[in-house]
Amino acid sequence: MGNHVPAVHSEETEALDQMSWHPQYRSSKFRHVYGKPANKENCYDGVPITKSVHDNHFCAVNPCFIAVITECAGGGAFLVIPISQTGKIDPHHPRICGHKGNVLDIKWNPFDDYSIASCSEDAIVKVWEIPKHGLLKNTMVPQKELQGHSRRVGLIEWHPTAGNVLFSASYDYKIMIWNLDCPESVIKNPVKTIGLHDDVILSMSFNTDGRLLATSCKDKKIRVIDPRLGVTLQETYCKTHKATKVLFLGNMKMLITTGTSRYNNRQVTLWDQEDLSVPLMQEDLDCSSGVLFPFYDPDTHMLYIAGKGDGYIRYYEISSEKPYLHFLTEYRSYLPQKGLGIMPKRGLEVSSCEVFRFYKLVTIKSLIEPVSMIVPRRSESYQEDIYPMTAGCEPALSADEWIQGANKDPVLMSLKPGSKISKTCPLITEKEPIIPLQPKSSQSHTGRTEVPSVLPNKESKDSRERRRLDERPPERSRLAYSNGIDLTECAPPKTENELLQMFYRQQEEIRRLRELLGQREIWIKQLELEIKNVRNSPY
């Protein structure tokens, strides 16, 4: 009897250990991430968003511009708006209108903020060069024209590490690879044509170094392809899941697909990219009918899922162990989204701990609403734990190197203010230069955090003021453009339309000055902290 009691105790202990292997509470620095919509003056109002029913985002964003596909009679068109030009958009704002059919997809070149590709129902892919000061008139002549597909082109994707390599997928069931380094303005021969699909291709996604391409297809199959060889490495047909969108999850060796179950419930499915025979997990979300768009942030391992026609965005954290998918919370809004654009990490506001930013297309209000995902932190200093090194704006290799078989990981950059960025994007309206601060994370032996010295040197105040005035650009060049309009040629308003345009320009100038004031206040706080540290130092 005495020997039986410890055995029971041992069995109970083992059962408790198994139950507590995955505790219900999971610690995460992103547990309290929340969505913050922009106020009305920082939205883009009066945008004639397309009414197309194609399941694409219809929007593309980079740190300089936002592009959105619009309604247009007699062909396809899209707007390119400077990212700083918020507020009411002029109904006569210049457009890119060189396609003969409706534009179906647009994508910015990840290594050139002034180059954008578009595809259309006219079966042609075009690459456009955007002036640094924005569009001043309608544009119809592209920089490159890619002719090769026999039916409308529904998807385009830039290669993530090789410069000037573009992929296009068409309703002719083919994927074509284009080398834009060719000198010809009209390219009719793609580098490679991939003909492995038996139906319409619904989505494409690259892994981190771009050596693998995942596709979802209307034939209900998910494929992992070697794009240079044009062969299928993995393929699956899942009877319980009809995938519409597929996405590589960075370097985690996993794929995520969104689609519907056999009972038409919207569903998320996780796969091992090296074995697509059985899914790692499946989760039903709801019974709505809109397509689910997945977005993944490899820096934070956060997955965002937004439904077309929904007003909310769910977000999860991905782990390499079961249960893999950890629900965090969701952003709710009563405004339904038709599509979403996302800002690259190098365009985020790190001072406010912003880790992701959506640009939400609200068709019923002709509105583009920025929604920022923010990690709540009390400190105003740079948070290195939520901003690791991220993919920058420099290609890791050329188009020819990639075509010949080379593979390289993306060139990384730091988001720390003041870090050297390989390629900068000048704004439409130049601002006075602000000296960036570079706080060090190292600590001295006294236990006090060291802040780099930015105290003024010993030159006199008058000499510093003269030097600052000498370094400023001429007044005409500094204020030559505001919202794409030459201010030096502005006459007093004579019509109501001219008066409205002048009002919008004044609103933009006020918003710019508020931003400048906020940056100066942050600078002043950092200087005060430095002075305090210097005074408290015993050395």
Condensed to tens digits (0 to 9), the pLDDT of residues 31-70 reads 889 999 999 999 999 999 998 888 899 999 999 999 999 9
* Alpha helical stretches, state H, 404-478: 461-471, 475-478
Q: Are 153 and 174 in contact (CB under 8 A)?
A: no
| Residue 211: half-sphere exposure toward Cβ, Cα within 13 Å | 13
Q: What are the residues facing 118 on neighbouring strands?
A: 106, 126
**In the prediction, which pLDDT does 256 show?**
96
**In the prediction, which pLDDT does 539 show?**
57
Condensed to tens digits (0 to 9), the pLDDT of residues 523-535 reads 888 888 888 878 8
Q: Are 317 and 339 in contact (CB under 8 A)?
A: no
Neighbours of 292 (CB within 10 A): 23
From the number of C-beta atoms within 10 Å of its C-beta (0-12, 13-18, 19+), residue 474 rates as exposed
Distance CA 27, CA 47 (A): 42
**In the prediction, which pLDDT does 271 show?**
94
In the numeric block, the tokens 């834009």 are attached to 180
Looking at residue 531, the DSSP 8-state letter turns out to be H
Q: Which helix (H) or strand (E) holds 518?
A: helix 496-536
Condensed to tens digits (0 to 9), the pLDDT of residues 97-139 reads 989 999 999 999 999 999 999 999 999 999 999 999 899 999 9
Backbone angles phi, psi at 52, to 5 degrees: -60, 145
Q: Are 162 and 394 in contact (CB under 8 A)?
A: no
**In the prediction, which pLDDT does 497 show?**
64
Give the tokens for residue 156. 């385009």
pTM listed for this prediction: 0.74
